[in-house]
Each structure stands twice: as structure tokens, then as C-alpha cells.
Amino acid sequence: MTIFYFTATGNSLAVAKRIAAQAQEEVTLISIPQIMDNLMSEYQDDCIGLIFPIYGCGLPKMVNQFLSHTKLKADYTFTIGTYGFMSGACMFNVQKQGGFDYAESLLMVDNYLPGYEITEEIAKQPQKKTEENLQKILSNISARQKKSNVSTLPWKILTPLIQFIGSTLIKNNQAKGYFVNENCVKCNVCAKVCPSGNITVSDKVHFHQQCEGCLSCVHLCPKNAIHVKHERSTVRWRHPDITLNEIIEANNRI
Ligand SMILES: Cc1cc2nc3c(=O)[nH]c(=O)nc-3n(C[C@H](O)[C@H](O)[C@H](O)COP(=O)(O)O)c2cc1C
């Protein structure tokens, strides 16, 4: 089995690792940022999965590029979108785009700081039934179950609008949304967790023009020195099953 994943704060990687742990076969986990420079036109295995965080009811830009340029050839393919509040028609669209046999979304902690307070998000986890729903996904994948996502007409109409608003917000972050305060010790962690290699650190932290808007730099700064415009939380999130080093390994492009 091969699982491709994209992660900023570890939710999607934690799900990938859980699937790998219960699989009865060898599993290769591939972080999408690590292969973007040498993308193959086709990947083959008996089973292939794609796991990603849902952004603006759609895919992160890089995951969309990955899916658009690559064919996933396997007897069984699955995709899981992790999200915090609303997935819209995302999984319906992704299943159509990638022709996945099984597509499912999983409600987890929402790491979108302009929208959510992280302490409240952590407290909401039992209500979101993350573990219960993950267990169902694990057994469905293990049984190679197929699942077609359906989408209602209002969602089909609303989702492109939400995606447009989402991509505008991400562009705003990219242009002028990040602030670095005096706690910064120029440790370079922000540059290493950035999946697009968009950050360089010299006399200060420089944000360039390839931002995914994923907020990994903000959440994972060891000094909590990076802040995003209109953030509702000074508390940060990293999935407890995932270490900072694992995210660096997954995302480092420098
Ligand atoms: C830029 C951005 C946009 C997001 N958009 C949505 C969204 O449209 N719907 C939603 O429910 N969650 C949204 N989220 C929350 C993430 O999808 C969610 O927290 C995800 O599990 C994070 O996965 P990760 O830890 O693997 O990065 C968004 C997060 C970010 C940073």
C-alpha cells in the first residue's frame, strides 16, 4: 500500500499512520511536498490512498497540482479529507477528480486560527467523534469497501463560492497576513515546516510568494512568535501523535 499525504499540523499524517499501523501489508507513506519537484505521471501499487486537510471546502493548492499531474493506478484507491467544521462538496469533487473507490471526510480539530479558538477545538473532540469515525474508516478501508459520495444541489452550487472565498483568504495571508514578534530566535523551524519552501530566515523571517496558507509556520513556531491576521487563538495545535520532527521531515523543502 502507498499513502500520499499533505499535512500542516499533523491531523492528516496521524490518520495516515493509523491506516498504516492496521494494514496487513507493507505501507509506504509519501509526503506530497517531498515529491512535488520530481512528480511522476503515474504511481502504481495494489492499494493507493490520498490524505489531506480540507481548505475552503476544497483541496490545498499543492494537493490539487499533485492530483492534476498524476495518475494513481491501483486495484483499490481511497481518499480521506480531514476537516474541522464543514467539508461541503469537497469529497464528492475529489472523488470525481481522482476516480477514487472510497472517499470519506473526518472531523478533527480545526486549525484555522482566524476562525477557531484551539482550546475550544480540543474540548470539542469527543463531540466530533473523531476516534469513533476513524475506526469506521479503518475497517472500511481494511475491507476494501467502496463508497461513492453524493452531494446535494445546494452544496454543489455553494462549494465553488466557498472555495473562491477560501483561496482569497489564503492569498491575503500570503500577501500581508503574518506577523513575527520579538520572541523570534531565528531558529529556522518555520522555514523547515513550510511545505512550499516559502520561508527564509536571515536578519528576520521572510515570507515569499508560494504560501499554501496552511499555517504550519504559525502553529509550530517553538516560541509562538508568528501570528496571523485576525487570529482567534494564541494557543497553537499539533496533533499529539505527531512530533515536530515528523512534520519537518514531511514538509522541509530547504
Ligand atoms: C487555510 C485553511 C482552510 C481551512 N478550510 C477549512 C474548511 O473549509 N472546512 C473545514 O471544515 N476545515 C477547514 N480547515 C481546517 C483543516 O482542514 C483541519 O484542521 C485539518 O484537519 C488540518 O489538517 P492537518 O493537521 O493535517 O494540516 C482549514 C484550515 C486552514 C489552515
Q: Looking at residue 64, what is its pLDDT?
A: 97
Using CB distances shorter than 6 Å, the residues near ligand 1 are 7-12, 53-57, 82-87, 108-112, 166, 170, 213-215, 239
Q: Looking at residue 228, what is its pLDDT?
A: 92
Locate the ligand 1 atom nearest the alpha carbon of residue 173 and give its number: 1
Asked if 35 and 65 touch (Cβ cutoff 8 Å), the reply is: no
Nearest-angstrom CA–CA distance, 110 and 90:
16
Q: What is the pLDDT of residues 107-120, one digit of tens each?
A: 999 999 999 999 99
What does the radius of gyration of the chain's CA atoms come to, in whole angstroms?
A: 18
pLDDT at 82 over 60: yes
pTM of the model: 0.94
pLDDT at 211 over 80: yes
Average pLDDT of the residues in 91-95: 94
Q: What is the pLDDT of residues 136-184, one digit of tens each?
A: 999 999 999 998 877 777 777 877 877 777 777 766 666 568 999 999 9
Q: What is the pLDDT of residues 147-156, one digit of tens each?
A: 887 777 777 7
Compute how many other C-beta atoms are within 10 angstroms of the C-beta atom of residue 60: 24
User: Ligand 1 atom 8: the closest Cα is on which residue?
Assistant: 56
The pick from 110, 169, 230 for probing ligand 1's pocket by mutation, whose C-beta has the most ligand atoms within 8 angstroms, reads 110
Q: Looking at residue 174, what is its pLDDT?
A: 61
Average pLDDT of the residues in 125-132: 95
Q: Which of 92, 30, 86, 87 is nearest to 63 (CA)?
A: 30
